[in-house]
């Protein structure tokens, strides 16, 4: 009896604190590491396309205006706008740390239910995260190149949040549901926002050539998937490392 009492006595607080520390620490490491790599990938692959589009957004370049326009204008280099690019790196790391907090918290719950989450599993988690946070909303609200026509930003944000939420639930059900219903419900959840439709602009006013818009969307999705694969693997890896360290210390 006494032994039982001693076992039951440790209050919730230290356990909660340890758990919270583990989640925060692993999410911070994973988010910062993945975010830094992704920021560099974006600067290399996405930023030149964005800067090219901005030349049309500002009117510095006009296509179909008369004379043919070169598809290879002079663009600012990586070090021409250091503050802008440093801010992009910082905000990418922050954004992916936000994603990592959600991801590691969900991993902790999956593990509590008896599922194993290794770094290799983390890759699948990352792909699921990419579908939920990037691909599902982007399927109808395609990644926007600067200068495109779009509906009111508030309305699009509401649709974005709802689509991410339904896609996230769908991914969880597919992963952990385990019966026929858990495939049918996610399919409906994934399709519904696109059947209902996202807020669309009334007219098209985009001055940016379609070639740039298409390349931008493709690059954003590609880097997004790489980003989430890295994030998932890192999140699971650091979560395991932190858990092992805690177990060793206990």
Binding positions for other proteins, rule: CB under 8 A: 1, 4-5, 7-8, 11-12, 15-16, 19-20, 23-24, 27, 39, 42, 46-47, 50, 84, 87-88, 91-92, 94-95, 97-102, 104-106, 108-109, 112, 134, 137-138, 141, 143-146, 150, 153, 156-157, 160, 216, 220-221, 223-224
Of 84 and 115, the one with the shorter C-beta distance to other proteins is 84
Collect all residues with Cβ–Cβ distance below 8 Å to 75 and sequence separation of at least 6. Answer: 48, 51, 52, 55
Q: Measured from the CB of residue 169, what is the shortest distance to other proteins in angstroms?
A: 13
- Nearest in space to 79 (alpha carbons), one of 47, 35, 33, 32: 47
Q: Measured from the CB of residue 64, what is the shortest distance to other proteins in angstroms?
A: 23
Of 87 and 187, the one with the shorter C-beta distance to other proteins is 87
Instruction: Round to whole Å and give the CA distance between 144 and 158.
Output: 16
Of 65 and 84, the one with the shorter C-beta distance to other proteins is 84
Of 237 and 239, the one with the shorter C-beta distance to other proteins is 239
Tell me the two tokens of residue 15. 């356990």
Q: Measured from the CB of residue 124, what is the shortest distance to other proteins in angstroms?
A: 19
Of 87 and 184, the one with the shorter C-beta distance to other proteins is 87
Q: Measured from the CB of residue 146, what is the shortest distance to other proteins in angstroms?
A: 6
Q: Measured from the CB of residue 120, what is the shortest distance to other proteins in angstroms?
A: 22
Instruction: Round to whole Å and give the CA distance between 136 and 142.
Output: 10
Collect all residues with Cβ–Cβ distance below 8 Å to 69 and sequence separation of at least 6. Answer: 61, 62, 63
Of 5 and 248, the one with the shorter C-beta distance to other proteins is 5
Q: Measured from the CB of residue 63, what is the shortest distance to other proteins in angstroms?
A: 20
| CA 158, 168, 177, 182 torsion-angle sign | positive
CA separation, residue 88 to residues 24, 30, 92, 128, 157 (Å): 23, 18, 6, 25, 21
Q: Read out DSSP for 187-214? A: HHHHHHHHHH-----SS----S-HHHHH
């Amino acid at each position: 009896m006494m032994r039982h009492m001693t076992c039951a006595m440790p209050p919730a607080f230290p356990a909660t604190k340890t758990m919270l520390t583990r989640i925060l620490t692993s999410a911070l490491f994973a988010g910062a590491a993945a975010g830094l790599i992704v920021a560099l990938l974006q600067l290399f692959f996405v930023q030149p396309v964005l800067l090219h589009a901005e030349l049309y957004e500002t009117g510095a370049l006009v296509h179909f205006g008369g004379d043919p326009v070169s598809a290879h204008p002079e663009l600012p280099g990586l070090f021409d706008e250091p503050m802008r690019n440093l801010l992009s790196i910082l905000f990418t790391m922050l954004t992916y740390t936000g994603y990592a907090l959600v991801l590691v918290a969900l991993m902790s719950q999956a593990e509590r239910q008896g599922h194993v989450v290794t770094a290799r599993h983390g890759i699948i988690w990352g792909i699921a995260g990419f579908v939920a946070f990037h691909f599902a909303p982007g399927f109808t609200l395609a990644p926007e190149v600067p200068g495109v026509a779009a509906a009111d930003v508030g309305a699009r944000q509401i649709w974005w949040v709802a689509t991410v939420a339904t896609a996230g639930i769908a991914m969880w059900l597919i992963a952990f549901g385990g019966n026929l219903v858990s495939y049918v419900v996610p399919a409906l959840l994934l399709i519904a926002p696109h059947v209902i439709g996202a807020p669309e602009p009334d007219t098209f006013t985009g001055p940016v050539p379609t070639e740039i818009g298409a390349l931008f969307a493709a690059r954003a999705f590609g880097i997004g998937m790489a980003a989430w694969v890295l994030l998932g693997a890192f999140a699971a890896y650091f979560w395991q490392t932190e858990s092992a360290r805690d177990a060793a210390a206990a």
